[in-house]
Structure formats: C-alpha cells, structure tokens
Structure 1
Amino acid sequence: MRLLFIYLIFIISTSRLFAQAADSLYYFSNPTDSLVGVKTGSGKIIIPARYRDFGLTDGSSSIKDDIIIMMDFNKNDSSAAYSYGDAFNRQGTFLYHPLFFDNGPDYFSEELARCVTDGKIGFVNHQGEIMIKPQWGWATPFNYGYALVGTGSYYWDLTKDEEHPPLRPRGATEEFYINTKGERVTPTDKPSSDKDQLADGKYLPYPFHYSRHEQQLVDSFNRVEMLSKIAFANYASPLKGREARLQFEITGRPSAGFPYYRLLAYDWNNGYDPHDDMTFLVNEKGEWFHIDFFDEIKPYRIWLKEKLEACRDFLTEHPDMPNRFNVEEYLTKDGNLTPKSL
C-alpha cells in the first residue's frame, strides 16, 4: 500500500512538471527568414514568427514576462509617436503598441508606460490595459503624478544630433500637464503645500492620496533617515534641508498579479525627481523588499546590508565626501546590522 502511495505521488508530481513545461513560453525563429515568434513548451504557437530579432531573444530560456513585447518596426522617419511593435499577454492576445523610445519599448514610470495608436500617445498599466487613451502627439513619462503632453505632431530633429536629437513640434501645438486619470491640470502661481511640484516656475498640487493604513506605510519609510544617508553618500555637493532627505510615496497598489505596495523615493532639486535605486515593495504581511530597475526583488535586510557595505567601502576610499555618515551606527565591523538599522 505504501509503495502504491509513493507511486501515485510520483505520477502526480511528474504530471505537474510536464504541465508546467507545456505552459512555459519560449521564443522560436523561422529557419527560412529568421523571424521570431513565441510558442509553448508543448510546441503550440501563440505568437506567429513574424517579428524581428536583432539578437535580443533567447530561445533556450523560458519567458518570464507577463507582457511579451515583439519588435515590429522599420524606423525610417523621425516621428516622435512611433510604435516599437506589438505587446501581447501570455495567452498570445494582442494588448497595445508600445512607444519606441531610446532604442527600445518605453519603460514603466509610476506604474504607467506610453503606448501608440495612429500616431498618438497614451498610457498603459502593467497588465497591458490602456488607462489613458492615445490622444497626444507627445507625452513625457509620469513623474510625481504628472506628465507633460502636447497636441499636434512632434519629431526628433536628427539634423542636430543623431544620437540624442531634440524634440521639435510640427506646426502649432499646445502643451499642458495631466494627472494619472488623463485630466488636464493647470499649475498655480503659489503652492498650497510644501509638497507641491515646482514646474516651469509654477506649482502642481501634491498628487498623492492615502487611506489611514497607506499613510502609516508611507510614514514608516519617511522616518528611516538611514535611507537618505545611503542615497546621497556619493553626491559631490553638500546637501542640507529637504535636499538631503528622500520623500517616499506610494506609486503602485496590490493587484492580482502583483501583491505589493510599491513605494518610490523622490529627491528635491528645484522639483521632485525619482530616486530610481530607492524603490521598495511591501506585501500584505508588512514585509519590506527592494526592487531594482531590472525588477529583481530582494529582501530588505539583505539589500540593506549590501548597500551599507558598499557605502563603507566607498567612504573609506573617498574620505572627503561632503555627505558622509558613520556607517558603523548601522553595520558592525563583522557585517551584521545594528539595532538602529532595523
């Protein structure tokens, strides 16, 4: 009976492994023209092989992304609202056209990325849902709750600089700020809060709104002075006041596919800008994690220990840095975190 039970467990485990392998997704190429598509581990094609590769796809490793972006462009003009290709979900359903930006598909900023339809720019979320319909000739990424958009048509002036060309309008345009709902926001001459965003000499209202629980979460990060010390340890200019303190805000909330709050740090330099290396996640248990630009998630204590060790090495090599701090208050000589750091 015991042998039968072990055999049944083996069969069930093996079946699960085969099912997982069949559900895994892989890039594949058409041998006749080298175009690329996506298929399951069992060989079912979910995205036909009609996309260009340029050596960016790896057919030997399974695809981990929830949104699969396939390259399908022939950049032969300087239009700013230009599509990089097609974005699909893991079932092979088309979602949107990502904006071509900086030689690749647009990146997510504050949980939104730019998309393109018929030469107009809008915004999508991490699930590939269009949250703000494409309607502008140009739009910046969201920062501190706002994006600058422009009506009309825009192009990159390659005659001035082919690698980093300036953005130019074609004909008449109107530029203004929008919030994450796509609503137009008019700056004011005077701030209503010390957290308002300074933009073009005027002020955009503080855009974040929280429940009591969320405010407590934000406050818990803003109380950790050590994070600001780590962030500015390698700055060449001395900082003081609010320039020397990070300001954390919630830019993403838990969803079915991503059960974390996302907290992003901003620093002040005549306006709030994201401090990209200071992005953290918090799960429903209240556990903290760090997430980097490549979406690698690491437990907070492990990340903190590594960062403090890096700060100690850097400040030892550069004893004249103006924003130095005593790392040993937070990290012992044998590499353990002190109670003050936790």
Structure 2
Amino acid sequence: MNSVGSLPIPTGRRVHRNQGRHLGLYAAAPLAALLALAAVVVPQPSQAAPGVPAAKATRLVGTLQLTAGKCAGGKVTGTYLRMILPSGGPNGPYMANNDSSCSDQSITPLAPGTDGGLKVGGAYQPPPSPVFDSSGNARANRLTAPAPFYGTSFATGTTKVDRQTKKAVPAPSATVTGSTLTADLRAFAVTWNNQDFNQGAPKPDGSTPGNTRSATGTYDAATGAFTLHWTSQVVGGPFDKFTGSWYFVGKFVPAAGTKPPAASGNGGSAGGTANPGTTANGAGTGTAVPNAPTSPGAIPTGANPGDVPGAAPVVAGQQPAATGPVTTKTVTQEKWRVSKPVIGLAVGIAVLGFAALLALSVLRRRAEAPGEAS
C-alpha cells in the first residue's frame, strides 16, 4: 500500500475491487427506486358508491307533450319563448313582444299543437304547404300552435332539410341519463312573416354560434314529467344575432310499442309541469310581480319597416338562474394513484443513489490523483 502524506491509497486490484463495489451501489440505488415506483404506480379502478348504480343513457322514442304556457299572478308556467337582444347574454336583456298576454311581454306563452308537442326518436313535423297564408302568417300547427309576434303569427316545426340553411338534419332526439334530459334539436325551426329561422341547437352544421346552447333539462322517470331549455342564436336575416331562449315543459309519452325509461332509484323529480319561482319579470324570487316595468329598446338591426309591425321592442327583466335536482355522479374510469409515503420513499432511495455516485467520484479522483506512489 502506498501513501501520500498520511493518506493511504489502495493500489492494484484493491482499487478495482473498491470501484466495482461502489459502481454496484450506484447502479442498484436508482434501479431500486424504479422498482419501487413500478410496484406501486398501477391503475386502480375507482369504486362506485355502494348501492348507487351507474346511470344508463336511454334514448326516448315518442312525444314530449307540452304544457301550455300561462302567465298568472306575475308568474309564468309551462312552455314559452323569450328573445335575447344581440347585445345580451344567457340572462338577457330581452326583446318584448307587444302581442304577449303576459305582464312581462318578453315572455311569449306557447300552446301545444295537434301532435301534442315535440316528437323525438326519428319523426319530423314539417309545416304544411303552403307554409304561409297571404298575410305572411305561419300555418304550421303540429308541434306548437301558431302564436302572434308583432301582428304576424309564427309557428314551429322540424324538417328533414332545414329550410333556412338547406342542409340535411337528423330528426330530433332526446336522451335520459338518470334524471338529466338532453336533446339534439338541430332540425327545430321557426316560420314567420314569409321567412325561415333555424332555432335548433346545435345548428344544422353542428356549430353553436354566439349564445347558442344545446338543450338540457330534467326528467322524472316515475311520472314522465320533463323540463327542457335551450338557446339558439339567429344567423342572418332581420333578426341576425338575436337569440331564441326556449322553455319546453310537460310530460313524455312513449310511442306505441315502446317503453319509457325505468326509474333508476337515483333520479330526481323534474319538478312537475310548472316553472316554480319564476316571476313574470324574470326576477326568480317566487314572488308575484304584476305589471313588471319595462324600458325602451330598439327594432332588430337590419329589419325592414314591415317586418316588425306595431310597438317597438322593449328590454325586459333578467332571467332567473336555472335550478335543478342534485344528481349523483358515479366515476367509473381508471385513475393513477400513488401514496405520498411511497413517493417520499422513492425520492429518498434516488437521493441515496446519487450520494453513492458522488462518493464513488471522490474515491476515483483520489485514486487517480497525480503523485501517487507506484
């Protein structure tokens, strides 16, 4: 053994053996860390809450029969329409309809047509021919009954080829998942004053421009009661960028030979056929507010003088925040989980490995330092 000063330096094979031992420690430490992580980082399926089955999506085939809209005592119930001004958002401000029977004339009550409401699951409800009478009043009456809007009646319907965009569209469909109702209504449209306006969501091309939002609501499997709300921004024409805010309320009636969705035990009530707590001015306080005040608005941008007869539109009150039943969400997808103590252990092992590498480096530098004895 040679020495430098008082420090003995191992030579020959002893140096190589020591280096081999340190190299083995260096290689084993990171490997141990990797093995520790591999042993614990495994996919662990999330468990559903005991006794709460995962909600199953069920496609409805039949008619969403509508409850007629009605304003009484400052409240609106049933089915109705509101038009959001181009400057507005989901909660208004709204355009008033001077033909509305409600104290808040931004609300236009709607009544069911001869079919009782909206057919879903494969059927269309096209307008008759001719679509309009000589005064421009819409003649369709299967989905909803014609309703007056500034002196001219409008109507709703669904067609295989959208009349405004000339695009082929699927028939309206509705799906129930637990107590949640969703719908594809891109075929839904309005006819008014010799004009066509797609009021579906999404639009015929699948887009959701501006304030357009897909139809969602609630469903009570025990009674068939439902609510459905969507918004559809007008694209083109005198009402460009105005948005129809549609509220459908009623009861689902399955088509002959089909069965309605069975109650799953974890669904909620759709809340009946009324819209409780919605006041005529949209305050949403549950308190009747008769003769709600309104303020002046403007005629739709680009409208022709004969398009909107009668009084000018007015801005109405704000829309109440939507409420619904609390639903249980069951998580079924896999998640990666690693406990904090295991992470700490793996990090510690990795640190030890790097410490071994450092020690080995120091020993090698000392062994190879110039001036060592031969």
Shorter-chain TM-score tier: under 0.3
Quick check: which one's helix share is greater? 1
Structure whose CA Rg is larger: 2
Relative to the length of structure 1, the TM-score reads 0.21
**Larger relative CO (CA 8 A, sep 6+): 1 or 2?**
2
